[in-house]
Structure 1
């Protein structure tokens, strides 16, 4: 640039006082024009639009740090909330399980009371304490014994059917042998036909044995007590027929059954009084043998 040809006015400029006076005058004019006529509004809008990318670029690191902090805070809060929700869910599940157990026990007690109210004898409601110690026998211990005037041989039922019978009585407890025990037998009959049979336990289940091939028994037939033994009252549900196997080469029909009572899961039981039957009349004594003089029987006895 050739400073030699430049006018002295632009090279040295006006004096400082003149520049100040011009700046003050320009400022006053701009202020008055902007306040009254809005002369700088469009300029400000254009300037702000031009400077917006710069403003965004300047604020971007701060916003990024703020977003990262919010993300980390959100993750921590979500983890805490998930942990709290899991713990609450486990508590609610446990409470729901307890409520379902209580509801099932309440329904059992209601059905027991209904059965007890329908009977004329002094039936005793008892609670199952624990099972027998022998794993090869199926027995339970109930919380009533001689104090409740229980006796060996009394039948025990639940809300669905026959469980077994009392086999041992202690002062405060009693032992109940379940119908699925291998040493347990129950005289029963087919409810539909009235045909009598014996139900045998085999250690975990029950089955009907020694039924002839001509027996009119079918699947889903209900088996009830016949009342012929003098212990079990008549008509107590015992089992349901699940399978009938008639083999032409066998002498008897093989019948598989399923116990109706909750032999492995019941909580409350009902001890019934044994059926009262008349005593069997005594048989007459045998007649003495009459002998002749020769030690031989008379002709009438022969």
Structure 2
């Protein structure tokens, strides 16, 4: 008699399997606590399967290495871009600082122009320093205003602090300025503290002037401010020139050795002012006669 083949063999029931696994788990836990055999077996199994783990992780490691390599190119490119961007911003920042400093200087020059207009009838033309000579014994500069701009020899040059020099040579589009530190240049001045008048002369050295032919008994002190006296009609009165820095008096000498430092300087700014004194309006000789006739008619 033929029997029907069994496609599925029936084993223990689910409850029997659950009980078997629970019992096996309890035995393994008890053995791990009491005999410490399971950790050694775990380490042995780990050593056996370690090569297989490395083989299994090889594709993932290759993928990570390739992604890191590709990412390094992106980081390098981004770093290059950020460096260029930083340099551009740095250049703009430096230019902005330079413009702010120049703007501050121009504001001070404007204030100097307003001050000069309240004291004198001088007119001012702003100019920019083109270059200074490399010769240390030459105390002259060149500015970008010349005869085409109405500049004439003899006009004085100042910055917002005080006198710089005087126009000595005029070209069509530029002019040469002799600084007050030049040994052949002199400026009539007065001591602001006591109004003593004298003349300062250049020494041919940077940032140094001297007062010659002042008696050892002259009332002058270190720190005294020297300003233009207005004598001669070249320099308007009251413009700062220098500050006394050193005084040497010897009883055997008739004159004191006095030196000072100019308050202005071409090494500090690029813009300067060129001043020219407006001549006073001449008085007509007929004016007194007209005034007398008007007075007689009114009487």
Distance 1:171 1:40 in 2: 114
Q: 1:95 and 1:244, CA in 2 relative to 1: closer, same or farther beyond 3 A?
A: farther
Pair 1:104-2:101 in alignment: yes
What TM-score do you get using the length of structure 1 for normalisation?
0.67
Give the greater-gyration-radius structure (CA). 1
* CA-CA distance at 1:124 after TM superposition: 0.9
Q: Quick check: 1:143–1:172 contact (8 Å CA) kept in 2?
A: yes
What TM-score do you get using the length of structure 2 for normalisation?
0.67
Q: Quick check: 1:155–1:274 contact (8 Å CA) kept in 2?
A: no
The 5-angstrom pairing of residues 1-302 of structure 1 reads 28-29=12-13, 33-34=17-18, 39=22, 42=25, 50=42, 54=47, 89-118=86-115, 119=117, 120-132=121-133, 135-203=136-204, 204-210=206-212, 211-274=214-277, 276=279
Distance 1:179 1:234 in 2: 16
Q: What's the counterpart of residue 285 of structure 1? A: none
Q: 1:272 and 1:37, CA in 2 relative to 1: closer, same or farther beyond 3 A?
A: farther
* CA-CA distance at 1:77 after TM superposition: 8.1
Q: 1:85 and 1:148, CA in 2 relative to 1: closer, same or farther beyond 3 A?
A: same
Distance 2:192 2:48 in 1: 93
Structure with the largest fraction of helix: 2
* CA-CA distance at 1:117 after TM superposition: 3.1
Q: What's the counterpart of residue 297 of structure 1? A: none
Uncovered stretches (5+) of structure 2, i.e. residues with no partner: 1-5, 30-37, 283-299
- Post-superposition CA distance 1:159-211 (Å, at most 9, x none): 11111011112222211111122221111121112122221112223322222
Q: Quick check: 1:199–1:206 contact (8 Å CA) kept in 2?
A: no
Q: CA RMSD in A?
A: 4.2
Distance 1:80 1:212 in 2: 75
Tell me, what secondary structure is at the counterpart of 2:122?
A: coil
The size of the alignment, in residue pairs, is 255
Q: 1:173 and 1:33, CA in 2 relative to 1: closer, same or farther beyond 3 A?
A: same
| Greater Cα offset, 156-165 or 84-93 | 84-93
